[in-house]
């Protein structure tokens, strides 16, 4: 997100996060923080509307209301917890997964209520091969937001590593209907079994964000089935896509981290 632009902020309240599309570098993440847990049952977010949203990912919002939280709670811990989440996300984007987890855990120590919303922590746990803890984290997230398709899929991915694909599918967390066509198809593929190549083909001529997500989740599906070459093909394609190269979406960073953790080259 360009730092020399004038950003117009607007406050929005809802159960899930969604997307805006920008073109920063891989490590420029200081303005993309999410998941501030408010005293109510809903997370409160200040959205930085820099460009029109593409309504795909829910991972690009900044919890900048810690002052309000402090006024209500009389303490600084929630503000410090948000700062720890911000540091953890930046570290993850830079490829330092272990230290990102340390920051997310620090956030939970400072404000235990954050744990139920820290999907970022679940992603770090996955890339540290701590699959049981990762599955627990994603199950907590889905309990708070029963319409979250991606957390359901990531729980499956963790449990597939622990128990195999068939058992993970028996444990699959069913969630509500995702408004994003690509994620509806990805969800059905993970839940019922399917063909990742068909998913990619269905969105190859659509929006750049849809092609990215189709490629990413096709690769992750292959990884769950231990098909390393096919997983590499699709996740590298996600990194090399227009959205993968230009978006500030946390999942675009994740695709690069995935390749780095597996020593896959994704430069064109």
Tens-digit pLDDT string for the chain (268 aa): 333 332 222 222 233 333 333 333 333 333 333 443 433 333 333 232 333 344 444 454 444 444 554 545 545 799 999 999 999 999 999 999 999 999 999 999 999 999 999 999 999 999 999 999 999 999 999 999 999 999 999 999 999 999 999 999 999 999 999 999 999 999 999 999 999 999 999 999 989 999 999 999 999 999 999 999 999 999 999 999 999 999 999 999 999 999 999 999 988 6
Backbone dihedral angles phi then psi of residue 161, each to the nearest 5 degrees: -70, -30
Q: What is the model's pLDDT at position 17? A: 35
How far is residue 155's CA from residue 153's CA, in Å, rounded to a whole number? 5
Q: What is the model's pLDDT at position 31? A: 31
Reported pTM? 0.76
In words, the CATH class of domain 9-261 is mainly alpha
Say what the alpha-carbon torsion angle 33, 102, 38, 1 is, to the nearest 10 degrees: 0
Taken in order 16, 22, 24, 25, the sign of the CA dihedral is positive
Q: What is the model's pLDDT at position 70? A: 54
| Residue 48 near residue 63, CB atoms below 8 Å | no
State the first-to-last Cα distance of the chain, in angstroms, to the nearest integer. Answer: 23
| Residue 82 near residue 33, CB atoms below 8 Å | yes
3-class DSSP state of 231: helix
How far is residue 258's CA from residue 191's CA, in Å, rounded to a whole number? 22
pLDDT (tens digit, 9 = 90+) per residue, 209-256? Answer: 999 999 999 999 999 999 999 999 999 999 999 999 999 999 999 999
Q: What is the model's pLDDT at position 252? A: 98
How far is residue 172's CA from residue 192's CA, in Å, rounded to a whole number? 10
Q: What is the model's pLDDT at position 267? A: 83
């Amino acid at each position: 997100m360009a730092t020399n632009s004038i950003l117009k902020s607007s406050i929005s309240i809802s159960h899930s996060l969604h997307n805006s599309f920008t073109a920063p570098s891989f490590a420029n993440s200081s303005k993309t923080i999410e998941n501030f847990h408010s005293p109510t049952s809903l997370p409160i977010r200040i959205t930085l509307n820099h460009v029109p949203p593409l309504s795909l990912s829910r991972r690009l919002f900044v919890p900048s209301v810690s002052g309000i939280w402090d006024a209500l709670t009389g303490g600084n811990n929630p503000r410090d917890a948000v700062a720890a989440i911000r540091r953890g996300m930046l570290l993850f984007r830079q490829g330092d997964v272990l230290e990102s987890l340390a920051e997310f855990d620090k956030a939970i120590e400072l404000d235990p209520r954050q744990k139920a919303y820290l999907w970022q922590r679940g992603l770090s746990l996955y890339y540290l091969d701590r699959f049981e803890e990762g599955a627990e984290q994603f199950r907590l997230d889905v309990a708070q937001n029963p319409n979250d398709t991606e957390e359901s899929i990531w729980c499956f991915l963790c449990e597939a590593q622990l128990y195999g694909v068939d058992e993970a599918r028996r444990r699959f967390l069913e969630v509500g209907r995702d408004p994003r066509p690509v994620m509806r198809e990805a969800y059905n593929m993970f839940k019922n079994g399917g063909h990742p190549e068909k998913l990619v083909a269905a969105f190859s001529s659509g929006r750049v964000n849809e092609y990215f997500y189709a490629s990413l989740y096709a690769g992750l599906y292959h990884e769950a089935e231990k098909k390393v070459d096919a997983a590499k093909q699709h996740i590298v394609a996600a990194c090399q896509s227009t959205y993968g190269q230009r978006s500030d979406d946390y999942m675009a960073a994740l695709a690069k981290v995935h390749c780095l953790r597996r020593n896959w080259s994704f430069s064109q």
